[in-house]
Amino acid sequence: MTPVRLAPVGVLAAFLIATLPVAGAEEQYPRGLMSVEPTANPNYSCTIEVRPVSFGTYDSLAMADLDATGQVIYVCGNLKAAATGSPKAIRIELTTGSASQFSPRSMLGPSTLDKLNYNLYLDPTRRTIWGQGAFGTDIYYDGHPPNRTPVTVPVYGRVFARQDVPAGQYVDAVTARILF
C-alpha cells in the first residue's frame, strides 16, 4: 500500500439557500463561499458561509482515523414569527455530497471509481452525523439565533483508517443549507 496524498481537500463547500439576505454580509465575510437572493426587506434574513474541512495528507497504512475540522458561520437578522413576534428558529442541514448516502460519505479520487470514505459530524466525539435529520443523521438547530451576530459552528470531519486507495487528490462538495 502506498500512502495516499490529499491536497488540501475542500470537503465542505456551501452556498446560501435561503430566502432573505443580511445587508452587508459580503463585506463581513469576503473569503467565504456565499450567494444571496435579493429581497425587498434585507432586515429579516440569514446568510451562511463555510470554512472547508481540509484533511491534508492521508496515510492508508496508519491505524488511526484522520480528523479535521471546518466551520459553518451564519448571521441572521431580526427573525421573528409573524403571529407572536418571538424569535424564529433556524436549522442548518448538510447534503450527502457525491455519495448517495450519509454514512459513509465519499470523496472522489483520481478516477471516478476511486473513493475515500469519510464523514462530517456535529460533535467532537464524532458520533452524531450531520445531515438532514433523517437516515441516522441530525441537524444543527438554534431556537433563538442572535440578531445580526455571527455564529460559528464547528464541523468535525473524519476519514476512516486503513482504506486501500490509489494515491491522488480526493475531493467532495457538500452543500450547507440554512432554513428559517
- Residues near 39 by Cβ (< 8 Å), separated by ≥ 6? 19, 20, 21, 45
Domains delineated in the chain: 25-179 (2.60.40.1090)
CB-neighbour burial class of residue 17 (10 A; exposed 0-12, middle 13-18, buried 19+): middle
- Residues near 31 by Cβ (< 8 Å), separated by ≥ 6? none
Q: What local confidence, expressed as pLDDT, does residue 44 receive?
A: 72
State the pTM of this model.
0.78
Q: What local confidence, expressed as pLDDT, does residue 88 receive?
A: 83
Q: What local confidence, expressed as pLDDT, does residue 15 receive?
A: 31
3-state SS, residue 151? strand
Q: What local confidence, expressed as pLDDT, does residue 147 receive?
A: 87
Q: What local confidence, expressed as pLDDT, does residue 25 receive?
A: 32
What residues of the chain score a pLDDT lower than 50?
1-40
Measured at the alpha carbon of residue 157, what is the angle toward residues 150 and 137, in degrees to the nearest 5?
85
3-state SS, residue 27? helix
Q: What local confidence, expressed as pLDDT, does residue 126 receive?
A: 98
Number of residues that this document lists for the chain: 180
